[in-house]
Amino acid sequence: MARTVSSYICQSCGAASGKWAGRCEACGAWNSIVEEAPREGGFAPREKAGASGTRARRARAVPLEPMQGDAAPPPRRTTGIAELDRVTGGGLVAGSALLVGGDPGIGKSTLLLQAAAALATAGCRVAYISGEEAVDQIRLRAARLGLGAAPLLLAAATGVRDILAALEGPEAPEVVIVDSIQTMYVDTLDSAPGTVAQVRAAAHELIRHAKRRGAALLLVGHVTKEGTIAGPRVLEHMVDTVLYFEGERGYHYRILRATKNRFGPADEIGVFEMTGKGLVEVANPSALFLAGHAEGVAGSAVFAGIEGSRPLLVEIQALVTPAPPGSPRRAVVGWDAGRLAMVLAVLAARCGLSFGAADVYLNVAGGLRIGEPGADLAVAAALVSALLERELPEGMVAFGEIGLGGEVRAVAQHDTRLREAAKLGFRHAMVPAVSAEGEKALAAPKGLKIAPLGHVRDLVRLVAGEDLGLTRAAQ
């Protein structure tokens, strides 16, 4: 009988090694390597091994097909939740696997239970399988959300073999929800549930079943303290779509963002509000994020951004205060700290504004996180306004990327941003002097006045009160 050999797997990155070590050489994590036994029966002896050590077999030619084809777009099943359908690209695709991640308690299970109930009510066969709650607990949560009458199939199980046996048959579910993948285990592995090997093997078996039966599979994934889905990144590569729930516990609204989607656009977002009856869709997220915006306050600017295919207006707040002796503080919420340091350096080098002796605080109101470079101009406007203690013109939005030379560069979807601002009643806009299409940024929707800026010096002059074609708010 061949001797079985254990392997040592890093629980952070999934790297394998032949012996235990205190530090993973691949990712640098400490105390993350765990011994994992091989599958039952050990490894089969290598017969007729080639130079690479793998068993040789006769080659089979792979068929090559032309680019042109008559394949129809994949059919979709809408969930009845418009924001969820938007993020997934129009609904669930049969035979696809979707992974939903987020912090504990942010609303992953609530949203999927609502979607499952809506699908089941519409006549779809849906199974909700939980490895963390009993069936009675799921029923209580459904009753609290007003979903107790939905014809939804429930199960509480963690063994993948048992789950797959329940999903077979002529009346097999068309949509399967597994909450969560970290609680599932494959009985052919000796490692504990939640380890790299178990997560990878359980997800592989479930995804293979979904593609074979043509069912849509939705997996819930736990998130680590670093904000990534627990387990190896290979889990994200195995699925077709990855969705992340974002939001702060102190706010009622949540952002569902697609970071990967093989059947639709990535970086699309859906906006929800957490209520006592579950997650409610937000039809106009710009109005939601600007609900507490006050005019006439120094250090406040409104950024006209793009999230996926949707224009979104959000308030950016800055506070500049004298710093005590020592190193000044830089605190950022909702934006990249490195980009803030770059904008401060450009304002100091190109405009002569000194923030070196001041504490700088920057906040994106509403708990939204912005990663778009087009927010540079709005951030710079808020910082200059806070430093000079002069408010921006009333009813103004801003967008544009700032280069290291101080130039204001064009961003995509110039017209879409301006139309959203005009729809919400804004009257002024600070924009790059040249749009992304290479045209002068002069055209604007009716009722919106444009201030084209070519350099950050123009921004400082505008905030200082010089007339650049805009009407200052009444003092």
pLDDT in tens, 354-394: 898 999 999 998 878 898 999 999 999 999 999 999 999 88
Q: Which residues contact 245 (CB under 8 A, 6 or more apart)?
A: 100, 101, 102, 103, 106, 107, 108, 111, 254, 255, 256
Residues of the chain with pLDDT > 90: what percent?
Answer: 55
- pTM: predicted TM-score of the whole model, two decimal places: 0.79
Q: Among 50-54, 284-288, 433-437, 453-457, which stretch is predicted with the lowest mean pLDDT? A: 50-54
| Under 8 Å between Cβ of 300 and 385 | yes
Instruction: Say whether both 83 and 17 belong to one domain.
Output: no
What pLDDT is attached to residue 209?
95
| Closest among 27, 41, 35, 43 to 6, alpha carbons compared | 35
CATH value at residue 224: 3.40.50.300
The total number of structural domains in the chain stands at: 3
Query: How confident is the model at residue 367, as a pLDDT?
Result: 79
What integer best gives the mean pLDDT of the chain? 86
Q: What is the pLDDT of residue 266?
A: 86
| CATH number, domain containing residue 389 | 3.30.230.10
* Per-residue pLDDT at 245 exceeds 60: yes
Q: Do 145 and 206 belong to one domain?
A: yes
CB 200 within 8 A of CB 159: no
The CA-based angle 53-55-57, given to 5 degrees, is 135
Tell me, yes or no, whether 367 and 403 share the same domain.
yes
Task: Establish if 102 belongs to a structural domain.
Answer: yes
In this structure, the answer to whether residues 321 and 384 fall within a common structural domain is: yes
Would you say residue 436 has pLDDT above 60? no
The C-alpha atoms of residue 414 and residue 398 are separated, in whole angstroms, by 11
User: Which residue(s) pair with 98 in the sheet?
Assistant: 218, 241
Q: Quick one: 332 and 217 in the same domain?
A: no
Same domain, 230 and 364: no
Window from 56-70, 125-139, 316-330, 335-349 with minimum mean pLDDT: 56-70
Q: Which of 299, 286, 453 is nearest to 386 (CA)?
A: 299
Residues 144 and 277 in one domain: yes
Predicted confidence (pLDDT) at residue 413 exceeds the cutoff of 50: yes
For the segment 152-165, the average pLDDT, to the nearest whole number, is 96
- Domain membership of residue 55 (yes or no) is no
pLDDT in tens, 176-215: 999 989 999 999 888 888 888 888 899 999 999 999 999 9
Distance CA 43, CA 248 (A): 48
- Domain span at residue 5 reads 1-37
Beta bridge partners of 455: 407
The pLDDT tens digits for 256-274 are 999 999 998 888 999 999 8
User: Looking at residues 330-349, what average pLDDT do you find?
Assistant: 95
Last residue of a domain, one of 266, 283, 300: 283
Whether residue 262 is found in the same domain as residue 120 = yes
pLDDT of residue 26: 84
Q: Return the closest-CA partner of residue 369 out of 312, 329, 418.
A: 312
pLDDT band at 56 (very low <50, low <70, confident <90, very high): low
Do 269 and 408 belong together in one domain?
A: no
pLDDT of residue 68: 85
Is the pLDDT at 40 greater than 60? The verdict is: no
Both 232 and 319 in one domain: the answer is no
Do 324 and 446 lie in one domain? The reply is yes
Is residue 472's pLDDT more than 50?
no
Least confident of 37-51, 120-134, 206-220, 411-425: 37-51
Residue 249 lies in a domain: yes
State how far the Cα of 359 lies from the Cα of 330, in Å rounded to an integer.
6
Mean pLDDT of 411-429: 91
- Can you give the pLDDT at residue 468? 56
Whether 472 is covered by a domain: the verdict is no
Higher per-residue pLDDT: 9 or 142: 142
119 and 263 belong to one structural domain: yes
Residue 65 lies in a domain: no
Final residue belonging to a domain, choices 261, 283, 305 = 283
